[in-house]
Amino acid sequence: MEEGTSQEPGYCEGTEDFDVWQWHSRADCEVRQILDRIADKWSLLVIALLERRSLRFSELRKEVEGISQRMLTVTLRQLERDGLVKRKAYPVVPPRVDYELTDMGCTLHETIKALVTWTEEHQTAIAAARAAYDERTAKERELLGQ
Amino acid sequence: MEEGTSQEPGYCEGTEDFDVWQWHSRADCEVRQILDRIADKWSLLVIALLERRSLRFSELRKEVEGISQRMLTVTLRQLERDGLVKRKAYPVVPPRVDYELTDMGCTLHETIKALVTWTEEHQTAIAAARAAYDERTAKERELLGQ
DNA sequence: CATCCTGGGTCACTATTGGGAACTGTGGAA
DNA sequence: TTCCACAGTTCCCAATAGTGACCCAGGATG
């Protein structure tokens, strides 16, 4: 951590994207750490929901079905720390806190949307693949167990 | 589960992507479950590495720095089940197993690459945001503790 | 002949993370 | 006086990720 943050080694943007992955697969790669953060179950959903409009804490909790209070707090803190989400607290009682995407958060949403679109387009294929796989393994299991 | 899996309610592809998120934020949404799977720390890296060329188990383990044998197994199984990765086992001793992306896996790689590109482009901004956030909270902590 | 090695796993165990519920703090309402 | 709203925080426990030892089969080695 102390001497890290070196981001200009070898892999300049222009090269084939071959080498890029060499760097990214290294555990100490900063890109990989950021990816771990944003490619997260809850982060994706929160960013997605905030793109529509800013939301309050309790609204988010209701919209993101299944998230616990703690994880919503943690997720929002991380996103805020990364500069993807802005937190606006009003000193009123009861408290009111609005969360909204920053400009950077908005650009990320574009990319995330692509991922979701891909998922939508392929969900049938994936379901089919899963069914096929399960059937295959069931048969193998049968052969082994018989 | 019994009566779930209803995927044709309301949100047909053509509509504004407003409503889409309403569905996707629901815990029983299939798209959300698939997203959870593919937007996973290890899955991203594995797909990325396999796009270059097919790899053997041990090669993957070496390339994906920090992954454990078990997690690599689990990840590959999931990807295989989802039809994103093809597993080719040769009945030789010692065993040889090659993993490669399926066509669907390749299309997913395109999307993932976009995510990585975004991360590369914004990693400096994120680092800055984190530094700023940490400084801010440090100050607040100081005020509270003094 | 006995032993070891190799590669792709599995199994049993431990460390970390996430979920659930209870608690906090403040001021207005009942 | 007690209760409630909202946005958290804290604590405890269960689930999950991750670790290291072990397994299998046959060919090379001694």
Q: Where are the domains of chain A?
A: 39-145
Mean pLDDT of A61-71: 94
**Beta-carbon pairs below 8 A across chains A and B:** 153
Positions on chain C within 7 A of a protein C-beta: 6-12, 18-22, 25-28
Contact B118 A134 (CB under 8 A): no
3-state helix, strand, coil in chain B (%, to 5): 65, 10, 25
Highest CATH level, class, for A39-145: mainly alpha
Bridge-based pairing of strands A96-101 and A85-90 is antiparallel
Q: Please give the residue that has the higher pLDDT: either A10 or B96.
A: B96
CB-CB under 8 Å, B83 with A133:
yes
More confidently predicted of A7 and A55:
A55
pLDDT digits (tens, 9 = 90+) for B47-72: 999 998 999 999 999 999 999 999 99
The separation, in Å, between residue A70 CA and nucleotide D9 C1' comes to 9
Highest mean pLDDT pick, A29-38, A51-60, B17-26, B28-37: A51-60
Let me know: does B24 contact B9? Beta carbons within 8 Å.
no
pLDDT, residue B19, reads 67
Query: B92: Cβ under 7 Å from strand D?
Result: no
Residues 6-65 of A with CB under 7 A from strand D: 56-59
Residues B132, A83: C-beta atoms closer than 8 Å: yes
Across residues A26-34, what is the average pLDDT?
A: 87
Q: Which of A30, A34, A130, A137 is the best substitution to test chain B (most B C-beta atoms within 10 A)? A: A34
Pick A24 or B120 by higher pLDDT.
B120
Per-residue pLDDT reduced to its tens digit, B61-100: 999 999 999 999 999 999 999 999 999 999 999 999 999 9
Nearest to A123 among B30, B81, B129 (CB): B30
CB under 8 Å, gap of 24 or more: what pairs does A130-134 form?
Answer: A130/B81, A130/B82, A130/B83, A132/B83, A133/B80, A133/B81, A133/B83, A134/B81
Per-residue pLDDT reduced to its tens digit, A102-137: 999 999 999 999 999 999 999 999 999 999 999 998
| Residue B14: band (very low, low, confident or very high) from pLDDT cuts 50, 70, 90 | very low
Amino acid at B91: P
CA-closest candidate to residue B30, choices A73, A94, A28, A130: A130
The C-alpha of A125 sits at a distance from chain B's nearest C-alpha, in angstroms, of: 8
- pLDDT-derived band at A5 (thresholds 50, 70, 90) equals very low
Tell me the CA–C1' distance in angstroms for B94 and D28. 12
CA–CA separation, A108 and B98 (whole Å): 34
Tokens 């949404």 sit at which residue?
B29
Whether the CB of B93 is less than 7 Å away from nucleic strand D comes out as yes
With a CB-CB cutoff of 8 Å, which residues 58-117 of chain B face chain A? 63-66, 80-84, 104, 107-108, 111-116
Is B123–A41 a contact, with Cβ atoms under 8 angstroms apart? no
